[in-house]
Structure 1
Amino acid sequence: MIRYKKYQVTGENSPLKGLWYARPVIEETFDIERLAKHMSKHNTPYSAGVIKGVLADMVSCIKELILDGKNVKLDDLAIFSVGIVSKQGASSATDFSLANNVKGLKLRSRATGELSNAQINLEGQLKEASPYAVEGGDSGNAPGGSGGNDGDENENPLG
């Protein structure tokens, strides 16, 4: 069950200002050690320590491969790759330079196999984390809501 909270976009320059959207509530994050313990309880002959070691090595190798310009596909999970964040476009190939046109790099991931966006939409279920209480109208500071967009005014709530 994926719980969500309602929030209102409050960015002054946002074309979405004043509109309301849903945001998932993440209650906990599993690190490698906790994931290994969880996996070891699924009828496996491997201890949490062995699983943790394999996962740590996997993460290290994925980082190495991605930084070498390769994609890494974990079947039925995601394809990980590097993306380039642009500052602005150049008017011609001659005018293009890394300093002027590239802001940096980012990690990209996209669902693959059985964990596709379509499958998540079929199997995922949403439930409001806590009812949104409206006090004196639709203010972004009413109890139960986040009252804003967590400081990311450029976030697109539509994906």
Structure 2
Amino acid sequence: MAVFYRLYQNNNENFVNKGKWYARATMTETVDMKKLADRIQRNCTAKKSDVWAVLTELVEVMQDELQASHRVKLDGFGAFKIGIQSVGADSVKDFNAVKHVKGLRVIFQPETKISADKTRTRTFLTGCTVQEAPKNAVEA
């Protein structure tokens, strides 16, 4: 299997690379927890209902841990943490969270494996290839 891409042209006047063409990953489907539970059930001895229960509880527990300012690491998967988007204050005394914190985000860092030749590969990318997405009748 390959990750599909489509080409797009940078038309932003503010960039030095205006007019150049780039690849952008394109998704062909969204796989939800139900589909994941079906596949996991086929690959192991756990029943779909058990897998569903664990995945549902994982989401709830991760939310609790992340909101307690903890980093959540799933071995072989990666780590999650909450990041803050803020604007600067003139001094420590002037900083006010209500005024200066503009948003929160979840940061995911996939686990990285280092091979014998010191090459780093992130989980989910081992053996990954790319190919141009097939054209369809709607595209010009």
Query: Shorter-chain TM-score: which interval?
Result: 0.7 to 0.9
- Please name the residue that 1:96 is paired with: 95
- Please name the residue that 1:126 is paired with: 130
Task: Establish whether residue 20 from structure 1 lines up as the match of residue 24 from structure 2.
Answer: no
Q: Percent of aligned pairs with the same residue?
A: 29
* Alpha-carbon distance in 1 for matches of 2:33, 2:57: 11
Number of aligned residues:
130
> Which AA in structure 1 matches 2:8?
Y
Structure 1 residue 57 displacement after superposition? 0.6
* Runs of 4+ off more than 6 Å: none
Maintained 8 Å contact 2:113/2:120: no
Against the structure 1 CA distance between its residues 101 and 53, is the aligned structure 2 distance closer, same or farther, given a 3 Å change threshold? same
* Alpha-carbon distance in 1 for matches of 2:81, 2:28: 27
Maintained 8 Å contact 2:80/2:109: yes
Maintained 8 Å contact 1:5/1:22: yes
Maintained 8 Å contact 2:71/2:81: yes
Structure 1 residue 12 displacement after superposition? 4.9
Structure 1 residue 18 displacement after superposition? 3.0
> Which AA in structure 2 matches 1:109?
F
Structure 1 residue 95 displacement after superposition? 2.4
- Please name the residue that 2:58 is paired with: 58
Structure 1 residue 118 displacement after superposition? 3.4
Q: TM-score, normalised by structure 1?
A: 0.71
* Alpha-carbon distance in 2 for matches of 1:16, 1:105: 31
Q: TM-score, normalised by structure 2?
A: 0.79
Structure 1 runs not aligned, ≥5 long: 132-141, 144-159
Task: Establish whether residue 111 from structure 1 lines up as the match of residue 113 from structure 2.
Answer: no
Structure 2 runs not aligned, ≥5 long: none
Greater RCO, CA 8 A, separation 6+: 1
